[in-house]
Amino acid sequence: MSITPHDERFMAAAIRLSRWHLGRTATNPSVGCLIVKDDVIVGRAVTALSGRPHAETQALAEAGALARGATAYVTLEPCSHHGKTPPCAEALIAYGVARVVIGVTDPDPRVSGRGIAILREAGIEVDAGVLEAEGRQSLAAYLTRQTKNRPYVTLKLAVSADGMIGREGAGQVAITGPEARAQVQALRAETDAILVGIGTAIADDPLLTVRSPGLESQSPIRIVLDPSLALPLTSKLVGTAREVPVIVVASEEGSLSQIEGDIASTEMDSRREALEAAGVEAVHCNPYHPEVLLSALATRGISSLLVEGGAKTARLFLEAGLVDRIQLYQAPVVIGEGGIESPLDATDIPSGFAHTGTLMFGGDRLDEYERGL
Ligand code: AOF
Ligand code: ZN
């Protein structure tokens, strides 16, 4: 049977469903599954918040006997490995599903085509690659960690009408309005980790948590690029490190003097001990080579990273070619004297990024740019 517009509509619905748990199933991807019998949805599910059970087994349980002869729409290839429960491919066979329509094949080496092969061997018709581009988008974080051994990186910038992202020595400066700020809270909530440079951590003293009603439990891990361990013990980040983890990324032993000026290693040791006593984790990793840090984060299971500030940190990731998505907020506010210039604006988005959307939040305009996966 060939792919019909119906198939695309059901797959689009499965993708929308998968987005419910985006960023909340780590380290598993959030997958959507619909079981459709005679054009009626008889079962539907998204990967559970802990990552298990997978989408298919829940959707099949909902469909029960109606799954026999039905079509299953799954955004990611059903798994073929034995985890905490048997493989989803076997569950689809056991329930008597006649056809499986898949969005994206699974790069996990334990699956990687085997899910499809098991289904076909059992006589089930399989169509893969349906709405693949949209499916890949919904699985971007998972696919990036699996295939590039690094998290999917979003750079968020809020720029004033005169091209500034803040004001020198002024601490946190409101650039966007409340609607845009609420949107950024939602973005944080679907992200595994958030990163700022030490300059921003000191100047703004941010919390970097999610405070929107209903999303409070979804704060990402907070990471500060902090070569000389200068994060103040009195900062809000340190003060809340026992509630939401904070990682400071310090220079490797011995490399600091060339870059940051001479700080005795005993001084570094005592700063590290004080931070650790406050519940902060210190890791040593060259903060000027973000690719090393990103692969260490991927190894910890972090699939998505939001880079929030400031200009120097944004440039570091942009110049290393490690930004996958740019979210550029443009606000009507004028900063004027003493402004800190934005590392980019809508006229100089780096090559390789495609403009993928514009939305208005109050008087602020959000433009999104993405690089292909
Ligand atoms: C599916 N359906 O809903 C999801 C899948 O740790 P485990 O045993 O749960 O396995 C994790 C892997 O399962 C993950 O890397 C990916 O290959 C797959 N995720 N598969 O059939 C789902 N979330
Ligand atoms: Zn599975």
44-51: long-range contacts, CB 8 A cutoff, minimum separation 24:
44/14, 44/17, 45/17, 46/17, 46/18, 46/20, 46/21, 47/18, 47/21, 48/21, 49/21, 49/24, 49/25, 50/25, 51/25, 51/26, 51/27
The span from the first CA to the last CA of the chain, in angstroms, equals 29
pLDDT per residue as tens, the chain (373 positions): 688 999 999 999 999 999 999 989 989 999 999 999 999 999 999 999 989 999 999 999 999 999 999 999 999 999 999 877 789 999 999 999 999 999 999 999 999 999 999 999 999 999 999 999 999 999 999 999 999 999 999 999 999 999 999 998 888 889 999 999 999 999 999 999 999 999 999 999 999 999 988 888 889 999 999 999 999 999 999 999 999 999 999 987 655 555 555 677 788 889 999 999 999 999 988 877 899 999 999 999 999 999 998 899 999 999 999 999 999 999 999 999 999 999 998 999 999 999 999 999 999 999 999 998 7
Is 337 in the active site?
no
Residues 120, 149 contacting (CB under 8 angstroms): no
Ligand index nearest the alpha carbon of residue 113: 1
- Does the N-terminal peptide bond of residue 310 adopt cis geometry, omega within 30 degrees of 0? yes
Q: How far is the CA of 38 from the centre of ligand 2 (A)?
A: 24
Q: How far is the CA of 90 from the centre of ligand 1 (A)?
A: 14
Tokens of 172: 């946190």
If we measure between CA atoms, which residue out of 203, 300, 209 comes closest to residue 249?
Answer: 300
Pairing mode of beta strands 32-37, 40-46: antiparallel
For residue 56 and ligand 1, the question of a CB distance below 6 A is answered with yes
Backbone angles phi, psi at 296, to 5 degrees: -65, -40
Provide, for the chain, the percentages of residues in helix, strand and coil under a 3-state DSSP scheme, each rounded to the nearest 5.
35, 25, 45
Residue with CA at minimum distance from ligand 1 atom 12? 28
- Does the N-terminal peptide bond of residue 53 adopt cis geometry, omega within 30 degrees of 0? yes
Residue with CA at minimum distance from ligand 1 atom 6? 83
pTM: 0.92
Ligand 1, from 52, 54, 92: best to mutate by most atoms within 8 Å of Cβ? 54
Residue with CA at minimum distance from ligand 1 atom 11? 28
Residues 229, 271 contacting (CB under 8 angstroms): yes
Q: How far is the CA of 109 from the centre of ligand 2 (A)?
A: 14
| CA 49 to each of CA 25, 60, 135, 191, 225: distance values in angstroms, whole numbers, following the listed order | 5, 18, 19, 14, 30
Residue with CA at minimum distance from ligand 1 atom 2? 54
- Please work out, in degrees rounded to the nearest 5, the angle formed at the alpha carbon of residue 65 by the alpha carbons of 59 and 71: 55
